[in-house]
């Protein structure tokens, strides 16, 4: 089955700096890669996703890149703000399996 | 408001005492799923349902049961809970189970089995 590894497990940055979280996946058939943000006491919420036919996608301060050959994808947050502090999860899915496989999560702390 | 609701939000129980965690969505979604979240392991899928009366095992189904008698409800049943089922549980739903459909998560249920 699919295996998703996520790094780092914790990340501390200064407000205004950029943050990068990286994930690798094992199943070359995976074709959908969402990123979720989980705030304290809440369920995960989708913030951005990318499909395997696209190499990069951007939404304001958030961008995701995908390298299918190397089987890794990354989340980039620019101009970080204290409200970006949360746990971020990457995930991967292939159509056949229909289940999301999640990474282990990254706790991002943005220092004011 | 479109949402996924779970009850209870917190539960402390003892080994062997049957319990049910309810999940309901008001978005008319076909696909529903249960995950458990444990430190360092991310979220792992327990069971999922593609539609009414259709359920299937996820990655960690042992010790759990589900049912899907109505489209909006997807209860998680622990017939004989054990301490290793102490975890944070999330229900999720999406319009279909295919690729590219956002999954909407409930607020979570923190379960402690003594």
Which pLDDT tens digit goes with each residue over B40-98?
888 999 999 989 999 999 989 999 999 999 999 999 999 999 999 999 999 999 887 55
Q: Which two tokens stand for residue B80?
A: 């004989």
Q: Which two tokens stand for residue A49?
A: 């996703």
CA atoms of B23 and B82, how far apart (whole Å): 21
pLDDT of residue A95: 66
pLDDT tens digit at each of 112 positions of chain A: 789 999 999 999 999 999 999 999 999 889 899 999 999 989 999 999 998 888 999 999 999 999 999 999 999 999 999 999 999 999 998 766 667 899 999 999 999 9
pLDDT of residue A97: 60
Contacts of B88 in chain A (CB under 8 A): none
Q: Which residue in chain A is spatially nearest to B50 when comparing CA positions?
A: A98
* Neighbour tally for B64: CB within 10 Å: 20
pLDDT of residue B60: 94
Contact partners, residue A54, CB within 8 Å, separation at least 6: A66
Residue B42 CA from chain centroid, whole number: 15
**Contact across the interface for B42 and A51, Cβ inside 8 Å:** no
pLDDT of residue A1: 78
**Contact across the interface for B100 and A42, Cβ inside 8 Å:** no
pLDDT of residue B98: 59
pLDDT of residue A93: 87
**Would you call A32 an interface residue with chain B, using a CB distance cutoff of 8 Å?**
yes
pLDDT of residue B2: 83
CA atoms of B63 and B48, how far apart (whole Å): 15
Task: Determine contact, residues B80/B65, Cβ cutoff 8 Å.
Answer: no
Is the per-residue pLDDT at B99 higher than 60?
no
| Residue listed under structure tokens 């958030």 | A62
* Neighbour tally for A76: CB within 10 Å: 17
What does the DSSP 8-state code read for residue B79? S
**Contact across the interface for B48 and A51, Cβ inside 8 Å:** no
């Amino acid at each position: 089955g699919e295996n998703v590894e996520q790094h780092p497990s914790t990340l501390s940055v200064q407000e205004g700096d950029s943050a990068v979280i990286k994930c690798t996946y094992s199943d070359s058939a995976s074709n959908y890669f969402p990123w979720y943000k989980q705030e304290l006491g809440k369920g995960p919420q989708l913030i951005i996703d990318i499909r395997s036919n696209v190499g990069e996608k951007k939404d304001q301060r958030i961008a995701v890149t995908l390298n299918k050959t190397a089987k890794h994808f990354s989340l980039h947050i620019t101009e970080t703000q204290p409200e970006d502090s949360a746990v971020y999860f990457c995930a991967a899915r292939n159509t056949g399996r229909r289940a999301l496989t999640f990474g282990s999560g990254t706790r991002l702390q943005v220092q004011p | 408001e479109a949402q996924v609701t779970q009850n209870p939000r917190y539960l402390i129980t003892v080994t062997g005492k049957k319990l049910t965690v309810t999940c309901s969505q008001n978005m008319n979604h076909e696909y529903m799923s249960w995950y458990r979240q444990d430190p360092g392991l991310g979220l792992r899928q327990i069971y999922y349902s593609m539609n009414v009366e259709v359920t299937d095992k996820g990655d960690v189904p042992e010790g759990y049961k589900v049912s899907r008698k109505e489209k909006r409800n997807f209860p998680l049943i622990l017939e004989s809970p054990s301490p290793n089922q102490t975890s944070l549980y999330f229900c999720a739903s999406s319009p279909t189970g295919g690729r590219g459909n956002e999954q909407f998560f409930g607020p979570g249920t923190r379960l402690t089995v003594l």
